[in-house]
Amino acid sequence: MYTSAVYSVNLPDVDPASITLRRFDSRLGGLSCDVDPAHMNCDVAEIEFETRNQAPLIDEEFHAVYPKLKGSEHEATSNKPTFVSVFYFDDSEYAVRFAKAFRHAVTLCGGKRSPF
């Protein structure tokens, strides 16, 4: 299966407190580095973020291709609003810097914490 997703978001809609970084070890099948970071190669990462109050303000365009299927089931697409999105990184050190810069950009653009 091959997939792609495009997310459109306005930075003021993002809750800066929701921006979270998770690091993983690609050699161990993506095992979270929360398990034992001292003995792991935390080389890949993801940054997840949500909109303020989890309002569905992010537009998600999803496309999947199933190469072994034929006919109408060969492809699937969907367009829907969501409140969460993720960036994936193959360099966890860069992801740390990106998370800091992203949080700063969201704040400068008017992003505010959810009240609850």
- Rounded CA-CA distance 27/40 in Å is 9
pTM summary value: 0.86
**Which residue would you say has higher pLDDT here, 27 or 22?**
22
Q: For 46-94, how does the pLDDT look when each residue is reduced to its tens digit (9 = 90+)?
A: 999 999 999 999 999 999 999 999 888 899 999 999 999 999 999 999 9
| For the chain, domain boundaries | 2-108
The model's confidence at residue 5, banded by pLDDT at 50, 70 and 90, is very high
